[in-house]
């Protein structure tokens, strides 16, 4: 595992996100389509998504902005927009597109679906119950899970041997 990838795992853990919780979202997305899908398979797909540089860069950038907002060292008007997770800000969702782009269109619909429903860890990150700012992190986690679901679907189809 590269140092960058290790940092991604460390920062996710520090922000209270476990890989299994992301994989649970992937499982939630795919268990209706594949009755035999396993958590192990979902975890493996999440791990593969996290090997991508585009994904690593988005995760580190987003988490850093959340932390800077928490420490109140961003300049206004950005600070208030990120601290309050303002509805019209939207750049947190745009950042997630960098992740979704890697694995194609299934990822986009899956992302929209769990972004709306907010199952599992997304509910917790959104509730602000731990007193932390997760304006970027909730979208990043949803995007990783959705990209993993897309990868899983592609890997299971017969024409997908080129997916890495």
Which residues lie near Mg ion (CB under 5 A)? Answer: 92, 135, 138-139
Distance CA 145, CA 127 (A): 19
- For residue 28, what are its two tokens? 């939630």
Distance CA 128, CA 72 (A): 16
**Closer residue to Mg ion, CB minimum distance, 71 or 128:** 128
Distance CA 5, CA 119 (A): 26
**Closer residue to Mg ion, CB minimum distance, 44 or 85:** 85
Min separation Cβ 143 and Mg ion, Å = 10
Min separation Cβ 41 and Mg ion, Å = 27
**Closer residue to Mg ion, CB minimum distance, 24 or 138:** 138
Min separation Cβ 145 and Mg ion, Å = 14
Cα→Cα distances 62→31, 33, 120, 153, 162, Å: 29, 31, 20, 27, 29
Min separation Cβ 146 and Mg ion, Å = 14
**Closer residue to Mg ion, CB minimum distance, 134 or 151:** 134
């Amino acid at each position: 595992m590269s140092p960058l990838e290790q940092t991604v795992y460390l920062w996710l853990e520090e922000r209270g996100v476990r890989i299994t919780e992301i994989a649970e979202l992937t499982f939630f997305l795919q268990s209706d389509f594949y009755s035999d899908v396993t958590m192990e398979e979902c975890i493996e797909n999440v791990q593969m998504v996290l090997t991508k540089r585009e994904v690593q860069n988005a995760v580190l950038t987003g988490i850093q902005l959340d932390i800077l907002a928490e420490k109140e060292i961003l300049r206004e008007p950005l600070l208030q927009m990120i601290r309050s997770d303002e509805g019209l800000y939207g750049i947190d969702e745009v950042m997630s597109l960098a992740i979704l782009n890697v694995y194609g269109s299934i990822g986009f619909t899956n992302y929209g679906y769990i972004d709306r429903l907010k199952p599992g860890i997304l509910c917790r990150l959104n509730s602000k119950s731990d007193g932390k700012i997760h304006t970027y992190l909730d979208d990043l986690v949803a995007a990783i899970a959705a990209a993993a679901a897309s990868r899983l679907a592609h890997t299971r189809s017969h024409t997908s041997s080129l997916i890495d």
